[in-house]
Chain A
């Protein structure tokens, strides 16, 4: 741009500097952190992936456990991006794939040979695990993952606000909508279920008496009850009583603790934070009945440890998983109860976890046992996305639920055909 100074000497210097910078940039790129630092007492390096837990101290805890292990040098990658699964799936195809990672049981990982069979390390202690957690990780008699924590998800409500508005704890979706309307004031919205409402998709289906897939792995969510539920959701979404566009998603209790909403859908993990912020002014209730013939439901989510079957150190990784998530019970209890609250999948630990025996935590455990639905290993990420699109199209936009579900059926059936033939 000739508006600038035109001296030759200047230009030459600028070019030289630019070349220097380019060279420096190239060199810097060579020293990238691959997450595989050298060292380690036995020379074996393991790399593990965790999604970013919201509670303070969680990252340090995972790294502390890893450091205590002396048979391998375990490095942790704490993935803070919002789409942990995309990052994980993409990385698993490359050479920098983690040796072990946490995720939910999904059968495509097994069918594509990406996760290793862990039956031999779980078998000896199988009876100590919640049978549902074993079942959800089993395909053809082989167990593919070790459950670390179970995370029931339900509604949290402010007792004082409900009392003030003379609202009872809702047991049907209609009552929930009514409560949201009564609880909405100038400053507080009645209800928060996340900005995208995705966390209530499964409970809505279960509470309508339907399921994601049936036992023969066929579509079971496309029922008149679910269609009715989606229509009710649309009404609720447009009512103006939902908190929308909150800075944090529904897994984070901030909207609830900061008084932005009187009721929020969240998970058991948030209990310590909520207790600290609100004292005893809160309670929990399961997802209400979508239709009158339905049943209240609770999502029993959670995270499990998997070993990358295509990694270089499969045996060493299995060894580490066995050491930490089978043998080290004090670490397992620490992980389940010292940061957020989670239900330990090991019966022996669940029985000794005193923090979960009183107050709302005990209530959470009760809802988990009474209304909980565990992961279905046949329900994969592509199917989850298909139903998320249904919610986006028919709840947040006004597409006909039948048409949206038909579209999802096509996507889910294509996936089912690929997985089960």
Chain B
């Protein structure tokens, strides 16, 4: 993933290995070394990613209830069933809205954090680590903390205690869907978990913007602050931004853990994957329909990604502007 643009313009090119130092040669040919290093990863990818994808594609054309080795071919029936299933189609709709909200929000928050941390003169490493730390936390663990402690509906839940100081009635954050406070719980949990990681990406990109650009801009009379940010920083972050938005979009459609844990036993706020989980692995054990749903979701993600690449110019390298 490219996190830099126009490195060739000027400035801090990656340090080149000194040619004077004799390199300790690895045994064997470069081809052998290539396979030595990428082989284990590729094998894992094939077994744990590609094989299941092909298998579920195959399953999606069969009547596969209570089995993953079906023999009754039913053509596109599963697809027809999933595409006319209100719950599944509804969840796709809901999550398009969810993605439209969470992606820009996370993007803005991570960029904001990166800018703040980048300007720090002292304790930068400390703050960088602190903001990055939630990335190491499991979604399940975070959901439990959010559910049981911060957004517990009882009077001693953290949020209700704080609101209580201002005389606000206890709110059942997750149990009562109207008003839909559960979105607030989910969005805060997701922001806390994700922002740090994307902040690091932005931080790396920010440090790669050549200082000369800012100096030149200052000479030309650009005011520091908003003007510099808008005309220099933001355009320079274009490739990183595109990558971050792409990753965020995929993450939004793959949302599962926190929804499954925070909103168990509901009929609302179900992302497509939770819907598929109940379909394929719940009491109905319908692997055919579940696989068809997974394929639909995959196709959707591919279309969105390609479309986004088209408008934002991801992958066009230096021509991107």
Is B72's CB within 8 Å of the partner chain A? no
Contact B176 A3 (CB under 8 A): no
Given contacts A83-B264, A245-B157, A392-B267, contact A2 B152 (CB under 8 A): no
A246 to B173, CA, bound (A): 10
Return chain A residues, CB-CB under 8 Å to B172: 195, 244-245
**Which residue of A has the minimal Cβ distance to B265?**
A196
A121 to B175, CA, bound (A): 45
Scan residues 172-209 of chain B and give those whose CB is less than 8 A from a CB of chain A.
172-178, 203-204, 207-208
Q: Of B216-224, B280-288, B292-300, which binds chain A?
A: B280-288
Contact A2 B265 (CB under 8 A): no
Is A93's CB within 8 Å of the partner chain B? yes
Contact A245 B285 (CB under 8 A): no
Is B28's CB within 8 Å of the partner chain A? no
A141-170 vs B, Cβ < 8 Å mask (1 yes, 0 no) = 000000000000000000000000000000
Return chain B residues, CB-CB under 8 Å to A246: 152-154
Contact A392 B154 (CB under 8 A): no
Contact B267 A15 (CB under 8 A): no
A235-251 vs B, Cβ < 8 Å mask (1 yes, 0 no) = 00100100111110000
A397 to B208, CA, bound (A): 51
A89-129 vs B, Cβ < 8 Å mask (1 yes, 0 no) = 11001000000000000000000100000000000000000
Given contacts A85-B283, A93-B285, contact A245 B67 (CB under 8 A): no
Return chain B residues, CB-CB under 8 Å to A381: 283
Minimum C-beta distance from A26 to chain B (A)? 8
Contact B281 A19 (CB under 8 A): no
Return chain A residues, CB-CB under 8 Å to B40: 19, 22-23
Minimum C-beta distance from B163 to chain A (A)? 13
In this complex, how many residues of chain A approach chain B with their Cβ under 8 Å: the count is 42
Is B318's CB within 8 Å of the partner chain A? no
**Which residue of B has the minimal Cβ distance to A385?**
B283
Contact A8 B17 (CB under 8 A): yes
**Which residue of B has the minimal Cβ distance to A397?**
B177
Is B55's CB within 8 Å of the partner chain A? no
Return chain B residues, CB-CB under 8 Å to A56: none
Contact B173 A8 (CB under 8 A): no
Is A66's CB within 8 Å of the partner chain B? no
Contact A397 B152 (CB under 8 A): no
Minimum C-beta distance from B239 to chain A (A)? 13
B1-16 vs A, Cβ < 8 Å mask (1 yes, 0 no) = 0011001000000110
In this complex, how many residues of chain B approach chain A with their Cβ under 8 Å: the count is 43
Return chain B residues, CB-CB under 8 Å to A389: 267
Return chain A residues, CB-CB under 8 Å to B154: 243, 245-247, 255, 260
Return chain A residues, CB-CB under 8 Å to B7: 2
Q: Which of A8, A198, A396 is close to B23, meaning CB atoms less than 8 Å apart?
A: A8
Most buried by B among A6, A198, A396: A396
Is A1's CB within 8 Å of the partner chain B? yes
Return chain A residues, CB-CB under 8 Å to B166: none
Scan residues 130-167 of chain B and give those whose CB is less than 8 A from a CB of chain A.
148, 151-155, 157
A179-190 vs B, Cβ < 8 Å mask (1 yes, 0 no) = 000000001000
Contact A245 B268 (CB under 8 A): no
Minimum C-beta distance from A268 to chain B (A)? 23
A255 to B203, CA, bound (A): 46
A23 to B39, CA, bound (A): 12
A89 to B286, CA, bound (A): 12
A interface, CB within 8 angstroms of B: 1-3, 6-8, 15, 19, 22-23, 82-83, 85-86, 89-90, 93, 112, 187, 195-196, 198, 237, 240, 243-247, 255, 260, 380-382, 385, 388-389, 392-393, 396-398
A-B pairs, top 3 by smallest CB distance, nearest first, are A245-B153, A244-B172, A244-B175
* New contact pairs (7) apart from A89-B285, A246-B153, A396-B176, CB-CB < 8 Å: A6-B15, A93-B67, A195-B175, A196-B265, A240-B169, A385-B282, A397-B268
Q: List 15 A-B contacts (CB under 8 A).
A: A3-B207, A6-B15, A19-B37, A23-B40, A89-B285, A93-B66, A93-B67, A244-B172, A245-B152, A245-B171, A245-B174, A245-B176, A385-B283, A392-B268, A396-B266
